[in-house]
Amino acid sequence: MLLFAVGFIILAAVTFIAFLFPSLFFRMFPNPLMPDTAWNRVWGRGFGLIFSLFLLAALSGGFEGFHENIVLALGISFFVLPILMWLSWRFSVRSFMRPCYINGTNRDPVWELRVTLFLCSLFVLTIATAWLLAARGHYIPLKSVAAG
């Protein structure tokens, strides 16, 4: 049980760092195939969002309705998140990268904060929606009921 708790805390810490501080994540785990660029930091936040939903689904197992809604949101995020990341690239990252190529910088703290706030807001909105729907009794039961 202790080993599970330690592993869960380590996964939660890595998820937190990838979600909120992706440049720190890329410094902690350097990968020559994935350098610390704006595009990779956006995707790092996206994967942090998916893993945060996974951790929340694991922790919410005792809350009927909320757990089912979080698992549904986790399943939907695999399809919706690539679309959001493409929209982020199309309308936010490319406009940020143009001046970066000209003046040689690779970071803009204001832009990084905006992307982090957007994905954190999306995460909180997902949790609030799952909670409100579960409180009203709207959820898809995941456990099959034995006929008898």
Tokens of 50: 């998916």
The answer as to whether 43 is a domain residue is yes
Q: Indicate whether 101 belongs to any domain.
A: yes
Please give the Cα distance from 87 to 91 (Å, whole number). Answer: 6
Q: How many domains does the chain have?
A: 1
**Residue 93's domain spans which residues?**
2-135
- The answer to the question of residue 145 being in a domain is no
Evaluate whether residue 140 is within a structural domain. no
Greater confidence (109 vs 20) lies with: 20
Q: Among residues 8, 99, 13, 10, which one has the least CA distance to residue 58?
A: 8
Q: Please report whether residue 148 resides in a domain.
A: no
Judge whether 143 lies within some domain: no
Sign of CA dihedral 108, 111, 115, 121: positive
Please give the Cα distance from 75 to 72 (Å, whole number): 5
Segment 83-100 mean pLDDT:
71
Residue 35 token pair:
């350098």
Residues 93, 50 contacting (CB under 8 angstroms): no
pLDDT digits (tens, 9 = 90+) for 32-52: 887 777 778 878 888 888 888
